[in-house]
Amino acid sequence: MRALADFVYTFSWRLPGRRWRRLLAFAEAEAESALELRCAAAATSDPERAALYLKHAADEARHAEILQRRATLARGSAVSLPRRGHARLFERFGEPVFIAYVHRGERRGRRQFEAHVRFFERRDPALAAALKSILADERRHESYTAELLAGPLADGAPAARRRARRVDLGDRWRRVGSALTGPLFAVLMLLLYVLAAPLALGARGDRAGWRTHD
Amino acid sequence: MAAVLGVSAHYHDAAAALVVDGRIVAAQQEERLSRVKNDPSLPRMAIDACLALGDIEAAALDRVVFYENPYRKLERVMVGSFAAFPRGAGFFRRALRSQLGDKLWVLDQLAAHLGVKRERVSFVDHHQSHAASALDCAPFDDAVALTIDGVGEQESTAIWAPADGGPRRVASIDYPHSLGLFYAAITAYLGFRVNEGEFKVMGLSAYGTSRFDDEVNQLLRVAADGSFRLRTSAFDEHLRPDRAYGDELVQLLGPARESQRPWDLDSGEDRRFADLAASAQRALEEAVLALGRAAHERTGARHLALAGGVALNCSANARLLAEGPFERVFVQPAAGDAGGALGAALLGARSEGDAIDGRFDPALGVAADPDRAMAVARHLGLNADRVDDPEREAAERLAGGAIVAWVRGRSEWGPRALGQRSLLTRGDDVTLRDVLNRRIKGREAFRPFAPVVRDEHASALFEGAPNDMTPAMTTVCRAMDDSLPGCTHVDGTARVQTVGPEGALDGLLRAMEGHGQRALLNTSLNAAGEPLVAHVTDALDFFVRRKPDVLYVEDVRITR
């Protein structure tokens, strides 16, 4: 089972030119997670949990920096993080579902990072060490979110876990759907663009100067 | 008597604003709450925050007004992509995806989020929103509004006269002839992020010599009637919005700068880019001056109210006041697209029959909660306690060379920290400036900081201060001497903030006077690439990560 997981998680490392892109994608995910956690810290009514979320956010931001630096090294030239939004899970689903979702993500991340560390231990020890430092944090995050779900957020935790699973599956479905339908959409839009090309004849020219309004 | 919510979204810097009975009750940019810089998404958090600040339920809203016409915008985008046939195919695909996926349904999205009937949600014109925000918030009558940005539905620039139902359009210039587009292209060419790095271009320009005027004047030409024309073949905004410039611009100006390379203004290559920034800034200022003169000629108004993203160019604003035909000039502080939300709400209030209350204080966002700050800080392992006189104590620390994070009252509307969410230090010490730039903010070394001074000392320290723009830092003034090197730019100007007796920093500045300091360096409480802090948890997050010496949240002092 572990061999299969290792193969699945590390497959794309084997593809030429993929390393920096994948590291950058990890950095993006960590940066987005940091933003999400800062919003959660602002939104939760409990100051202790707000502090936990802020500490977690600081870890995620640090991970993003480490991974971005590694992506730069792997590429051989600087890479910047594209700026994206985040899913606003706390705002959409409330705190228990948010934490259940974060817990799922941390558990999955921990498993993946274990596989990545095994993969790079001999191939690239420096990268393996960087990933190992992140892995230690992932374990801690997995643990504290589990404690929250068993403790202060225990009321309704099973339902929150089920909802988080549905949200997670929905996200994956949309990602797969987008990947599958993207090319079809591109072809259809190209066709529409060509068919509508005569409209270009009626397109207004770039009129300069003042237009006066009565 | 009506409650009206204005909203801007889906381009960049989304926001919400609430006007109740003609009075501005709340205004909040989404980025401050989502922590996504220039967040363009539907501002759900900002909407909810405004309603909470106004203590009003969504069901009690009489109108919800979106800041632009989404259908005319779609038309312009489609026409642009067809006009660029066949090169516009990729843009057409991306544009339809975002238009059909989100933008076209914005009125329905607002109705669904608020749980109000769709009929209660309407829209106004983009530039009219800007104009309303400027005219209604201006501290004077007998004014004309000038709105200058990248593009609205079709216009990039417009002159507006006040009228009973809202600003009346006098004259306009259509996209793609756009000063916002011109400056965005230069911003991207210099390796900065469009819609964010424009401030950096302005700061950089002071280091350069405008030796590329001839080349830049081929890109942007000002006409005798005050209008302007872009060499549109050099710009690619509608095909590559993240870059905005085309190959022809590169042929004219030379290779563009790589975005990630650190700046070294001693190198010949980066000197060239600084010189280009200087020429671009000069060209923009000349164009803005010409527009101002045209607005005056067409209306005869004595005063000018400015809005639109280009109105955030404080160097251009300063020249407009100094060399233009107007006695007074005012800039609505959130002059970019965020400000459209405020204008939309004001227009909605007018259409409901309300008279607009012109009093305007930019502290319109979420409030600081010192009790919560203290509780969260202690769980973070920080020292947090109440102090009797935070101004006096902070002044002592500042006099000793501390860098102080300062959180007071409701957060600022617009891009500038005005004392509600500020980082402060002494303005007479360049070492502190450099520490602030490098260690705390993580910014490029060439970016200047701004001074803050009480009204009564402003004229002694800065030429032309105070004026209608200095309370919100939307202009620059020349420093009288070199006593504030930490917050005076290399060209001898400063983006000074002046503070009246009601200002958030008045007490602290008074306390500083006891230490022989009449001004402080005031910069935004955020790191490079991040939105300004709003909630106290964001302030704590910043304090832990970036390590200023002390954080004051009202009367709560937080140290490590």
Helix %, strand %, coil % of chain B (to 5)? 40, 20, 40
| d(CA A197, nearest CA chain B) in Å | 6
The answer on B230 and B254 residing in a single domain is yes
Question: What positions of B carry a catalytic annotation?
Answer: 12
The answer to the question of residue B298 being in a domain is yes
Q: Is B367 within 8 Å of chain A by CB?
A: no
The answer to the question of residue B344 being in a domain is yes
The answer on B205 and B105 residing in a single domain is no
Distance CA A24, CA A79 (A): 8
Question: What pLDDT does B100 receive?
Answer: 86
Place of tokens 């109440």: B386
Give the tens place of pLDDT for each residue, B102-120.
Answer: 899 999 999 999 999 999 9
Kind of pairing, strands B556-559 and B410-412? Answer: unpaired
Under 8 Å between Cβ of B183 and B284: yes
Q: Is the pLDDT of residue B267 over 70?
A: yes
Q: Is A177 within 8 Å of chain B by CB?
A: no
Q: Is B528 within 8 Å of chain A by CB?
A: no
| Range name among A56-60, B82-86, B415-419, B498-502 with the lowest pLDDT average | B82-86
First to last CA, chain B: 50
Q: Is the pLDDT of residue B460 over 80?
A: yes
Under 8 Å between Cβ of B270 and B264: yes
Average pLDDT value for residue range A65-70: 94
At A1, the pLDDT band (50, 70, 90 cuts) reads low
**Percent of the residues in chain A that have a pLDDT greater than 90, as a whole number:** 63
User: Which residues from chain A sit within 8 angstroms of residue B79, using beta carbons?
Assistant: 199, 203-204
Contact A38 B538 (CB under 8 A): yes
Q: Is B89 within 8 Å of chain A by CB?
A: yes
Neighbours of B77 (CB within 10 A): 21
The SS3 assignment for B411 reads strand
The SS3 assignment for A79 reads coil
Residues 196-225 of B with CB under 8 A from A: 223, 225
Q: How far is CA B209 from CA A158, B155, B273, in A?
A: 66, 32, 10
Among all residues of chain B, which has the CA nearest to that of A54?
A: B541
Contact B83 A210 (CB under 8 A): no
Write out the two tokens for B367. 């409030």
The answer to the question of residue B165 being in a domain is no
Average pLDDT value for residue range B58-72: 96
Q: Is the pLDDT of residue B86 over 90?
A: no
Question: What pLDDT does B405 receive?
Answer: 98
Q: At what angle do helices B314-323 and B268-299 cross, to 10 degrees?
A: 50
Half-sphere exposure (Cβ direction) of A28: Cα atoms closer than 13 Å: 14
Contact B81 A193 (CB under 8 A): yes
CATH number for the domain including B47? 3.30.420.40
Q: Which of B48, B72, B82 to mutate to test the interface with A (most CBs of A within 10 A)?
A: B82
Q: How far is CA A189 from CA A63, B90, B237, B420, in A?
A: 39, 9, 20, 48
Q: What is the DSSP letter of A20?
A: H
Place of tokens 């549905």: A166
Q: Is B421 within 8 Å of chain A by CB?
A: no
The answer on B430 and B342 residing in a single domain is no
Q: Is A200 within 8 Å of chain B by CB?
A: yes
Contact B93 A86 (CB under 8 A): no
What mean pLDDT value characterizes chain B? Answer: 95
The answer on B520 and B400 residing in a single domain is yes
- Torsion angle, CA of B55/B59/B62/B67, rounded to 10 degrees? 80
| d(CA B3, nearest CA chain A) in Å | 25
Give the tens place of pLDDT for each residue, B161-217.
Answer: 999 889 999 999 999 999 999 999 999 999 999 988 999 999 999 999 999 999 999
Q: What is the DSSP string of B33-75?
A: HH--TT--S--HHHHHHHHHHHT--GGG-SEEEESS-HHHHHH
Q: Is the pLDDT of residue B481 over 70?
A: yes
Under 8 Å between Cβ of B411 and B534: yes
Q: Is the pLDDT of residue A205 over 90?
A: no
Residues 378-407 of B with CB under 8 A from A: 378-380
User: Which residues from chain A sit within 8 angstroms of residue B538, using beta carbons?
Assistant: 38, 42
Number of A–B residue contacts, CB under 8 Å: 140
Write out the two tokens for B102. 């989100």
| d(CA B425, nearest CA chain A) in Å | 25
The answer to the question of residue B152 being in a domain is no
The answer on B197 and B83 residing in a single domain is no
Average pLDDT value for residue range B14-40: 97
Q: Is A180 within 8 Å of chain B by CB?
A: no
CATH number for the domain including B374? 3.90.870.20
Contact B372 A47 (CB under 8 A): yes
Q: At what angle do helices B179-189 and B268-299 cross, to 10 degrees?
A: 170
Question: What pLDDT does A148 receive?
Answer: 97
Single out the residue of B288, B266, B489, B511 nearest to residue B406, CA to CA: B511
Question: What pLDDT does A83 receive?
Answer: 75
Give the tens place of pLDDT for each residue, B308-363.
Answer: 999 999 999 999 999 999 999 999 999 999 999 999 999 999 999 999 998 899 99
The answer on B185 and B128 residing in a single domain is no
Contact B172 A51 (CB under 8 A): no
Question: What pLDDT does B381 receive?
Answer: 97
Position B439: which residue type? R
Domain that holds residue B86: 3-138+334-357
The answer to the question of residue B58 being in a domain is yes
At A78, the pLDDT band (50, 70, 90 cuts) reads confident
Q: Is the pLDDT of residue A199 over 80?
A: no
Under 8 Å between Cβ of B551 and B405: yes
DSSP H or E segment with residue B171: strand B168-174
Residues 146-165 of B with CB under 8 A from A: none
Helix %, strand %, coil % of chain A (to 5)? 80, 0, 20
| Range name among A11-15, B306-310, B414-418 with the lowest pLDDT average | A11-15
Question: What pLDDT does B238 receive?
Answer: 66
Q: Is the pLDDT of residue B557 over 80?
A: yes
Distance CA B223, CA B461 (A): 37
Distance CA B516, CA B370 (A): 30
The answer on B56 and B7 residing in a single domain is yes
At A204, the pLDDT band (50, 70, 90 cuts) reads low
Neighbours of A152 (CB within 10 A): 15
Q: What's the CATH class of domain A2-172?
A: mainly alpha
A179 against B211, higher pLDDT: B211
Structurally, chain B folds into a number of domains equal to 3
Average pLDDT value for residue range B74-96: 87
Contact B260 A80 (CB under 8 A): yes
Under 8 Å between Cβ of B2 and B21: yes
